[in-house]
Amino acid sequence: MTSSRTISAPQVHRWLAAAAWLGLFAILGALPPGSARAQAAQPAKRQNAAAQQSTPTIATDAEYVLGPGDSIRIAVFQNPDLTLEARVSETGAITYPLIGAVKLGGLTISAAEKQLAKQLKDGGFIVNPQISILLLQVRGSQVDALGQLAKPGRYPVETAQMKLADLIAMAGGIAATGSDTVIWSGTRDGQLQRREIDVRQMFATERPEFNPVLQGGDVVFVDKAPVFYIYGEVQKPGALRLERDMTLMQALAAGGGLTPKGTQRGVRVHRRGPDGKVQELTPGMDDKINPDDVVYVRESLF
């Protein structure tokens, strides 16, 4: 037996209206980008994109080492009540709900997340906590880059393995007036350490003493390059950069060479001795020049 069902007129009207709306939506969705309807939808998309871009976040490496003064936001998955913004204290600790004081200073971001998760789990508060930490503001774990650098300043220790060469690169490299020796100082195991590091050795060898791993509070200083002074019968008298192992002949060449009136036999070097007295020397062309030497080229008598 075949059964039949009567469809009322109002139902037919509702179905037809719904089909018309669905067809209209499909047409609007298929409109080309240049159509009026598509152009009208663009401002809303731009507003949404602008709102997303205006959200203040700091992209951080999971290996960034937290230090005193850093501001962080802690979130626990499916536990919004445990979301907390905190500042790492001078002792490296924060106060967190349920577990109290937690020392995070000296830990990387990933290690700090594991530390909080462990304490929440060990305390029986959450069975399997999933912690995420966002660095809001960098105040601790910074190093000072001073002296003859392209961009001297204070820089964050971005990773647990950030080295001296990385800092020099962040600071734009050593300026043209800078020395090829870097002075590094920092505290390790409670002891203040200071070291002069040859930049050439830093890149020529993999020995760690020439490229130490940096920690918050370290100071890197690049002094001015040593100079010598040359005057008399030379083309370019004045103060010039003293290159490593520079000889008297090279110093004369750096000064542009002798004038037609100058003579090599009339070259004298004035050098201050350990006792503070200045001595006049007559070195050979292959003898080395010392920092702050004064080279004088006399006029030829013939």
> With 0-12 CB in 10 A as exposed, 13-18 as middle and 19+ as buried, what is 164?
buried
pLDDT of the residue at 156 = 85
d(CA 33, CA 47) in angstroms, rounded, equals 17
Place of tokens 């020529």: 204
Task: Indicate the pLDDT class of residue 14, thresholds 50, 70 and 90.
Answer: low
262 pLDDT above the threshold of 70: yes
Res 35: pLDDT? 44
User: What mean pLDDT do residues 26-32 have?
Assistant: 43
Q: How far is residue 71's CA from residue 138's CA, in Å, rounded to a whole number? A: 7
What the block records as the tokens of 162 is: 């950030």
Round to whole Å and give the CA distance between 3 and 235.
116
> What span, in angstroms and rounded, lies between the C-alpha atoms of 246 and 300?
25
- HEC assignment per residue over 245-259: CCEHHHHHHHCCCEC
Q: Which residue has the higher pLDDT, 66 or 152?
A: 152
**Distance in angstroms (rounded) separating the CA atoms of residues 162 and 165:** 8
Residue 301: the pLDDT is 76
Query: Tell me: the pLDDT tens digits for 57-71?
Result: 444 456 788 888 889
pLDDT at 49: 44
Q: Could you tell me which residues are beta bridge partners of residue 276?
A: none
**Mean pLDDT along residues 163-169:** 94
pLDDT at 18 over 60: no
Q: Any residues with CB less than 8 A from the CB of 208 and at least 6 apart, and which?
A: none
| pLDDT category of residue 141 using cuts at 50, 70 and 90 | confident
Q: CA 85 to CA 58: how far, in whole Å?
A: 14
Q: Give the DSSP letter string of the chain.
A: -----PPPHHHHHHHHHHHHHHHHHHHHHTS-TTSHHHHHHHHHHHHHHHHHHTS------TTPBP-TT-EEEEEETT-GGG-EEEE--TTSEEEETTTEEEE-TT-BHHHHHHHHHHHHHHTTS-SS--EEEEEEE--SSEEEEEESBSS-EEEE--STT-BHHHHHHHTTSB-TTEEEEEEEEEEETTEEEEEEEEHHHHHH---GGGSPBP-TT-EEEEEEPPEEEEEESBSS-EEEE--TT-BHHHHHHHTT-B-TTEEEEEEEEEEE-TTS-EEEE---TTSBPPTT-EEEEEEP--
Domains within the chain, CATH numbers bracketed: 71-137 (3.30.1950.10), 142-224 (3.10.560.10), 227-299 (3.10.560.10)
Average pLDDT, the chain: 83
Give 109's contacts (C-beta < 8 A, 6+ positions apart).
Answer: 60, 61, 62, 63, 64, 66, 133, 135
- Could you read off the pLDDT of 86-134 as tens digits, one per residue? 999 988 899 999 999 999 988 989 999 999 999 999 999 999 999 999 9
Higher pLDDT, residue 300 or 80: 80
Q: Which residues does 238 contact at the CB level (< 8 Å), separation at least 6?
A: 229, 230, 231
Position 45 pLDDT exceeds 50: no
- Of the listed ranges 139-143, 248-252, 296-300, the least confidently predicted one is 139-143
Tokens of 72: 């962080």
CA distance 262 to 265: 9
Determine what percent of the chain is predicted with pLDDT higher than 70.
79
